[in-house]
């Protein structure tokens, strides 16, 4: 078995090449290269992952603006839609090869979210009413190992990770609910005449401001309003809790594996093992 230089612990070992079988040898080289890019720590790998993240966030921005672009973009919108589908399909294929075990990779919930997003891109007319769920890509990206191996390597403060994830969950919730309200009530209720109205209703309900100028009709409208208020309050509390949580650092205890410790910890609180947490002295 051969291990790709710089590969992280997430992926499995890649079987060694067999020069007598050119196709298998080329396949091994492709997997080895992808593993080095997606899980390696070399400057080239880090730059590659930063580039992928920039493209990912641009795609997420497209998803958020999609309801507005769909109305005005015409054929151009669908061209962009299929182009993004091709990019996402290639990225998923590359990540699957880089992971090492397709069976283990496909079991990951984040992968299922990305596959669903890909389905809405490949069949935009059939799944048009579910297009608002594409914003879940933001949640899956920020909660992925890929993101934190690239961005999180610059931080040892656990609050950075906790606050980022809480903020991503809140933003994802806002735009998923906005998309649902827009898809379900646009043209059926005069209070929702556009995407901005749907966003306005979501924000006022989520913050429990309740101006009352837009009220969704019927029992389902009231139930949705209750869900938005409860969900919003919960996500706001999670964000505040993340901001107020005491400073911790990531460092795996060599004995019990506990990963969060006080910055000046000398011993693990769980098992008492002596720790040697790296300190930059700042």
Tens of pLDDT, residue by residue over 103-112, are 888 888 889 9
pLDDT at 10: 47
Q: How confident is the model at residue 21 (pLDDT cuts 50, 70, 90)?
A: low
List of domains in the chain: 1-152 (no CATH), 155-245 (1.10.287.70), 248-282 (no CATH)
Question: In this prediction, what percent of the chain has a pLDDT beyond 90?
Answer: 23
pLDDT at 1: 38
Mean local confidence (pLDDT), 178-196: 84
Mean pLDDT, all residues of the chain:
81
Q: Is the pLDDT of residue 252 over 60?
A: yes
Mean local confidence (pLDDT), 113-141: 87
Q: Which residues contact 245 (CB under 8 A, 6 or more apart)?
A: 158, 159, 162
């Amino acid at each position: 078995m051969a291990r790709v230089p710089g590969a992280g612990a997430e992926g499995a070992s890649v079987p060694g090449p067999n020069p007598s079988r050119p196709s298998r040898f080329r396949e091994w080289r492709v997997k080895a290269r992808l593993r080095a890019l997606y899980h390696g720590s070399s400057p080239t790998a880090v730059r590659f992952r930063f580039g992928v993240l920039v493209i990912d966030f641009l795609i997420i921005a497209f998803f958020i603006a999609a309801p507005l672009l769909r109305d005005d973009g015409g054929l151009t919108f669908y061209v962009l839609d299929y182009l993004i589908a091709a990019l996402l399909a290639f990225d998923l294929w590359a990540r699957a090869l880089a992971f090492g075990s397709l069976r283990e990779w496909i079991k990951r919930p984040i992968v299922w979210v990305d596959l669903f997003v890909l389905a809405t891109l490949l069949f935009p007319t059939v799944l048009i009413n579910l297009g608002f769920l594409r914003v879940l890509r933001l949640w899956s990206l920020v909660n992925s190992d890929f993101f934190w191996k690239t961005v999180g390597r610059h931080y040892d403060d656990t609050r950075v990770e906790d606050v980022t994830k809480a903020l991503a969950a809140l933003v994802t919730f806002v735009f998923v609910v906005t998309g649902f309200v827009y898809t379900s009530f646009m043209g059926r209720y005069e209070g929702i005449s556009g995407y901005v109205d749907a966003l306005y209703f979501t924000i006022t309900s989520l913050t429990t401001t309740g101006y009352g100028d837009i009220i969704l009709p019927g029992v389902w409208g009231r139930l949705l309003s209750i869900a938005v208020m409860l969900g919003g309050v919960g996500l706001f509390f999670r964000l505040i809790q993340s901001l107020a949580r005491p400073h911790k650092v990531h460092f795996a205890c060599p004995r019990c594996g506990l990963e969060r410790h006080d910055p000046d910890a000398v011993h693990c609180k769980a098992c008492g093992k002596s720790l040697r947490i790296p300190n930059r002295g700042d």
